[in-house]
């Protein structure tokens, strides 16, 4: 069955973005954060395409996410579970070749007796997940030692402070390789790359910093079908709470996408379709939006329209981050890779 809304997902764009991030990463290997269902695009397909491009290091948040992609990973690929290992995860983790990223002393104590390899997250100032530098890591087989940058999308002293702390802490820990940079961190330069980088956002077409403008390609296109074309007479309003009133007679297309699909209410009165030609009128509903199609008499019931979703612009319009816009994309889309 064909849904009345679809994501056009560009495999070539995804691969090109990974290759650019790999080139920017210099001597470091370039991995991929595929948590949250591949940032909403579909983790299994994302992993398959990145494997074909040459990526071998993947990051998910939870063991449920790991279970979804482990079966498609070749023997030479590596999978890390960023949230570490809870008591409830131990059985799955023991049977898996994914490595937990240990974040707490309790997780270290839980994993040490297994004798299996792990990764370790050091907290260098984000104060989210991770062990403090200097905590007891004895008896662990540490594959990748990592930390995470809090503000790499800004030019602030915190970046270099975290870099310095990571460098000095890592010098005292035996690990096969080191990793610090997310998408934005890759753009901060060679000092941040170490042995492995971990981009997410930029793989999927997000622009983490100015350096990526013109290099990172869009991957996600939104399309939705016209359900009805109607006339909006002068003086009539449209949609919930009548926030838009026609100051001249308009022609309107009612289109099958809404906030339940992740096309959030922040696009009300601001979003556009058709490359800016079709302004959104009034509020975004749960399942519908109204577009002004007065200038395009050929658009008819059943036609497919492309909803503008250039991530930096869409973030400004909606008030959400590029990350939220991607990960909110809902289950009702057909996800079509080409
Ligand atoms: C999500 C995540 C990444 C990827 O970050 P982006 O900003 O999307 O590139 C890298 N490392 C960790 C620990 C993460 O949680």
Q: Is there a catalytic annotation at residue 35?
A: yes
Which pLDDT score is estimated for 322?
A: 98
- Domains belonging to the chain, first-starting first, are 11-206 (3.20.20.10), 220-337 (2.40.37.10)
Decide if 240 contacts 283 (C-beta within 8 A).
yes
Residue 317 makes CB contacts below 8 A (sequence gap 6+) with 266, 267, 270, 271
Which pLDDT score is estimated for 330?
A: 98
- Please identify, by atom number, the ligand 1 atom nearest to the C-alpha of residue 202: 9
Segment (H or E) for 106: helix 105-111
- Sheet arrangement for strand 32-33: 29-30, 196-197, 177-179, 141-146, 117-121, 99-102, 78-81, 57-60, 32-33
Per-residue pLDDT of the chain (338 residues; tens, 9 = 90+): 899 999 999 999 999 999 999 999 999 999 999 999 999 999 999 999 999 999 999 999 999 999 999 999 999 999 999 999 999 999 999 999 999 999 999 999 999 999 999 999 999 999 999 999 999 999 999 999 999 999 999 999 999 999 999 999 999 999 999 999 999 999 999 999 999 999 999 999 999 999 999 999 999 999 999 999 999 999 999 999 999 999 999 999 999 999 999 999 999 999 999 999 999 999 999 999 999 999 999 999 999 999 999 999 999 999 999 999 999 999 999 999 99
- Please identify, by atom number, the ligand 1 atom nearest to the C-alpha of residue 101: 13
The Cα-based distances of 198 to 89, 134, 135, 144, 239 in angstroms read 23, 24, 24, 12, 43
Nearest CA to ligand 1 atom 2: 33
Strands (E), 246-288: 250-255, 272-273, 278-281
Which pLDDT score is estimated for 184?
A: 98
- Please identify, by atom number, the ligand 1 atom nearest to the C-alpha of residue 201: 8
Q: What does the block give as tokens for 323?
A: 């990350």
Which pLDDT score is estimated for 213?
A: 98
Which one from 39, 192, 204, 240 is the annotated catalytic residue? 240
Cα(196) to centroid of ligand 1, in Å?
Answer: 13
This model's pTM is above 0.95: yes
Decide if 59 contacts 31 (C-beta within 8 A).
yes
Cα(138) to centroid of ligand 1, in Å?
Answer: 27
| CA–CA distance, 111 with 121 (Å, rounded to integer) | 14
Cα(289) to centroid of ligand 1, in Å?
Answer: 32
Ligand 1, pocket residues at CB < 6 Å:
33, 35, 82, 148, 182-184, 198-201
Q: Ligand 1, from 14, 21, 200: best to mutate by most atoms within 8 Å of Cβ? A: 200
- Please identify, by atom number, the ligand 1 atom nearest to the C-alpha of residue 153: 7
Q: Ligand 1, from 46, 59, 327: best to mutate by most atoms within 8 Å of Cβ? A: 59
| CA–CA distance, 272 with 270 (Å, rounded to integer) | 7
Q: Ligand 1, from 33, 35, 180, 326: best to mutate by most atoms within 8 Å of Cβ? A: 33
Which one from 35, 204, 259, 263 is the annotated catalytic residue? 35
- Please identify, by atom number, the ligand 1 atom nearest to the C-alpha of residue 198: 10
């Amino acid at each position: 069955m064909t849904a009345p809304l679809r994501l056009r997902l560009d495999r070539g764009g995804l691969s090109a973005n990974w290759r650019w991030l790999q080139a920017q990463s210099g001597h470091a290997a370039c991995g991929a954060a595929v948590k949250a269902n591949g940032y909403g695009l579909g983790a299994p397909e994302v992993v398959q395409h990145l494997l074909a491009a040459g990526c071998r290091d993947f990051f998910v948040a939870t063991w449920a996410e790991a279970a979804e992609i482990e079966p498609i990973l070749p023997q030479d690929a590596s999978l890390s579970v960023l949230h570490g290992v809870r008591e409830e995860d131990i059985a799955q983790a023991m049977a898996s070749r994914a490595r937990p990223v240990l974040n707490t002393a309790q997780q270290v104590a839980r994993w040490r007796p297994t004798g299996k390899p792990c990764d370790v997250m050091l907290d260098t100032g984000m104060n989210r997940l991770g062990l403090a530098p200097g905590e007891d890591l004895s008896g662990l087989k540490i594959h990748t030692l990592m930390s995470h940058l809090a503000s790499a999308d800004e030019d602030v002293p915190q970046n270099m402070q975290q870099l310095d702390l990571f460098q000095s802490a890592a010098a005292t820990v035996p690990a096969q390789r080191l990793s610090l940079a997310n998408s934005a961190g890759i753009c901060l330069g060679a000092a941040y790359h170490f042995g492995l980088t971990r981009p997410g956002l930029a793989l999927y077409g997000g622009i983490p910093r100015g350096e990526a403008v013109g290099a990172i390609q869009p991957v996600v296109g939104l399309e939705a079908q016209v359900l009805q074309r109607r006339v909006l007479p002068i003086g009539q309003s449209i949609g919930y709470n009548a926030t838009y009133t026609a100051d001249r007679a308009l022609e309107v297309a009612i289109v099958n996408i809404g906030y339940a699909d992740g096309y959030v209410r922040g696009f009300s009165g601001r979003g556009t379709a058709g490359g800016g030609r079709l302004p959104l009128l009034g509020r975004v509903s749960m399942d519908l939006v109204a577009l002004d199609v007065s200038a395009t008499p050929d658009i008819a019931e059943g036609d497919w329209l492309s909803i503008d979703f250039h991530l930096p612009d869409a973030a400004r319009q909606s008030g959400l981050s590029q990350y939220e816009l991607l990960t909110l994309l809902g289950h009702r889309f057909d996800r079509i890779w080409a």
